[in-house]
Structure 1
């Protein structure tokens, strides 16, 4: 079952301007160390640092919407983190208040999964998040 859906659109040039103006203060407030390492790596590619951060910014906004709160009620930017599987597929992990909210939303006997899709086409970066709950597999193998 779908527990929440969120989407966000971020302007890559706006994020580049924020990076120029606030630098590490912005990076450290919003992004995890792992997200920052990914952006540094991507700064050497055509994708670029600002694009990488803009997609992750959009994903965090979209996730907060899917959690049903937006960026209110104690959620912190770094409570939501985008990483990538070896295949390149983006995944969202939540900690802190965001994890608490996800647990509250998830019905008993279910496991929540956060699906995330990212895309960019300069000057725009977009993210789409779906939170899904699936029944917990039974211990004895019977469903």
Structure 2
């Protein structure tokens, strides 16, 4: 069963302006170490670096909406990080207040599953998050 849906659309140029203005202060405040490392591996192409950050920013916004809190009520930017599963599919890894909120949303006898879709088409980046409760009962 679906327990949360969130989406976000962001102008990549806006993220570029914030990075230019605030640099590492912004990046360290918003993104996990793994997210920063992923973006920096694309350092040969500045547009790809910024698009990588923008997609992850949109994913965090979408996830916070799916959690029903936005960026407040103990859910902070670095509590949500985009990670890739072994097959490459992106998902969200939650810690801190975001993980606590997810636990509170998940009904007893269920595990939470977070599905994430991220994309960009310059100058826009977009993310969709669906949080589902999957029954632990075997059929």
Shorter-chain TM-score: what band? over 0.9
| Cα distance change of structure 1 residues 72 and 58 upon mapping to structure 2, 3 Å threshold | same
Query: What CA deviation, in whole Å up to 9, does each residue of 1:103-129 have, x standing for no partner?
Result: 000000000011100000000000000
Return the alpha-carbon distance in structure 1 between the equivalents of residues 108 and 86 of structure 2: 31
Alignment of 1:1-143 (within 5 A): 1-45=1-45, 48-138=48-138, 143=139
Return the alpha-carbon distance in structure 2 between the equivalents of residues 17 and 57 of structure 1: 14
CA root-mean-square deviation: 1.3
| Cα distance change of structure 1 residues 126 and 109 upon mapping to structure 2, 3 Å threshold | same
Deviation, 1:73, is: 0.7
Deviation, 1:48, is: 1.1
Query: What CA deviation, in whole Å up to 9, does each residue of 1:41-72 have, x standing for no partner?
Result: 12324861110000000000000000011111
Aligned pairs, number: 139
Deviation, 1:85, is: 2.6
Aligned to 1:20, the other structure's residue is in SS state: helix
TM-score by structure 1 length?
Answer: 0.92
Return the alpha-carbon distance in structure 2 between the equivalents of residues 88 and 29 of structure 1: 26
Query: What CA deviation, in whole Å up to 9, does each residue of 1:63-91 have, x standing for no partner?
Result: 00000111111211000000123433211
TM-score by structure 2 length?
Answer: 0.95
Deviates more, 1:10-19 or 1:41-50: 41-50
Aligned to 1:42, the other structure's residue is in SS state: coil
Return the alpha-carbon distance in structure 1 between the equivalents of residues 137 and 50 of structure 2: 41
Aligned to 1:68, the other structure's residue is in SS state: coil
Aligned to 2:41, the other structure's residue is in SS state: helix
Return the alpha-carbon distance in structure 1 between the equivalents of residues 134 and 88 of structure 2: 24
Ranges in structure 1 where 5+ consecutive residues have no aligned partner: none
Return the alpha-carbon distance in structure 2 between the equivalents of residues 44 and 88 of structure 1: 21
